Structure 1
Amino acid sequence: MNAQQQLTPPAIGQIWPGQGGIYAGIMPARNSQEAYHLILGEELGRFEWGPYGEESSATSLIDGLANTKNLIGEGDDYPAAKAAAAHIADGHSDFYLPAAAELYEAWLNLGDQDWHWVWSSSQRSAYFAFDMYFGDGYQDYGVKNDELRVRPVRRLPIQ
């Protein structure tokens, strides 16, 4: 397979060979961020988001990569972000915990899935972080010390 074939996305919802997961579509350009392909990794299990009652700098609703880097930089108290960042698939180690908008975009493109509640990297307050129910696309916020599923994502520039 040549480099161009590797960067040609499959149909939405299909495994993208060599890219570490399911093709979840294009994340539209927002603010100063370019549009990119969104690749959804496998479920890693259930993890707490982070310490209840503590503020973090992971407040972006659209940039899960920045949120995850902020959480990892703040220490070992953020198990969901730590698990997502440690994920490796098809040789790619650039996974992260998706922001609320990235989860919603994945749901818009993939439709209802039996993945239940999934954490985003977007903090709501010192006590809550945004999450999403993939059965119907409902977004809410959960208590940070609850254990919810983690589905890491990675981004691929549009060429």
Structure 2
Amino acid sequence: MNTEQSIKPPAIGEVWPGQGGIYGGVRHYPEGLCHIIFATEDVGRHAYGDYGKSVKAVSRTDGRANTEILIARKGKHPAAIAAAAYTDNNHTDFYLPAMGELHHGWQYAPESFSKDCYYISSTQYSAYDAYLMDFEDGWLYGNVKSHERVVRPVRRFLQ
């Protein structure tokens, strides 16, 4: 049995010792029900990248899949690169969250995020825009890919 699966999670919104961040609860993913963990800190401001190019990172729910697509574009996506480079408690499986994952954070652990900035998601809106999350009021916006926005890595593992 995976040791991550044998540990009881804390309350949603609390730091999960040894798991690399703040517990966000359970979400459904292609591989099944997973615990979602938001990094305890932001990793700077970075642009989405590839302004004017349409990429296939359009999942609204699976940031890991989006991040893999963006990373494969060889250095053209600074926000995805920064999120994927993040490590905590020896966990190296962080990625740039999809818009739905950021919205989940707003629903269940909004106090863990800054309310005075926009967080970039891995979900492309168009060739020129990517989705952003505003944690002050819960709005999702499509905005210019070349603008630098705050990056908050996330990871997940099977329940």
- Give the TM-score, by structure 2 length: 0.91
Are the equivalent residues in 2 in contact too, given 1:59–1:67 (CA < 8 A)?
yes
Using a 3 Å threshold, how does the CA distance of structure 1 residues 53 and 111 change in structure 2: closer, same or farther? same
Residue of structure 1 in register with 2:136 after alignment: 135
How far apart are residue 96 of structure 1 and its match? 0.2
More displaced stretch, 110-119 vs 8-17: 110-119
**Of residues 34, 37, 43 in structure 1, which corresponds to 2:35?**
37
Are the equivalent residues in 1 in contact too, given 2:31–2:158 (CA < 8 A)?
no
How far apart are residue 111 of structure 1 and its match? 3.0
Residue of structure 1 in register with 2:122 after alignment: 121
Q: Deviations over 1:126-151 (max 9, x none)?
A: 00000101112111111000000000
Aligned partner of 2:146: which letter?
Answer: N
Cα distance in 2 for residues equivalent to 1:8 and 1:21: 15
Aligned identity (percent) is: 45
Are the equivalent residues in 2 in contact too, given 1:6–1:18 (CA < 8 A)?
no
How far apart are residue 25 of structure 1 and its match? 1.3
- What is the count of residue pairs matched by the alignment? 154
Are the equivalent residues in 2 in contact too, given 1:59–1:124 (CA < 8 A)?
yes
Aligned partner of 1:145: which letter?
Answer: S
SS at match of 1:70: helix
1:146 aligns with 2:147: yes
Matches of residues 22-33 of structure 1 in structure 2 within 5 Å?
22-27=22-27, 29=28, 32-33=30-31
Q: Deviations over 1:27-48 (max 9, x none)?
A: 1x26x45221110012001000
Using a 3 Å threshold, how does the CA distance of structure 1 residues 133 and 4 change in structure 2: closer, same or farther? closer
Using a 3 Å threshold, how does the CA distance of structure 1 residues 88 and 146 change in structure 2: closer, same or farther? same
Cα distance in 1 for residues equivalent to 2:53 and 2:124: 10
Are the equivalent residues in 2 in contact too, given 1:6–1:17 (CA < 8 A)?
no
More displaced stretch, 90-99 vs 49-58: 49-58
Q: CA RMSD in A?
A: 1.6
Matches of residues 102-121 of structure 1 in structure 2 within 5 Å?
102-111=101-110, 113-115=113-115, 116-121=117-122
Using a 3 Å threshold, how does the CA distance of structure 1 residues 51 and 4 change in structure 2: closer, same or farther? closer
Using a 3 Å threshold, how does the CA distance of structure 1 residues 90 and 68 change in structure 2: closer, same or farther? same
- Give the TM-score, by structure 1 length: 0.91
Residue of structure 1 in register with 2:75 after alignment: 76
Cα distance in 2 for residues equivalent to 1:51 and 1:4: 36
Residue of structure 2 in register with 1:47 after alignment: 46
Aligned partner of 1:81: which letter?
Answer: A
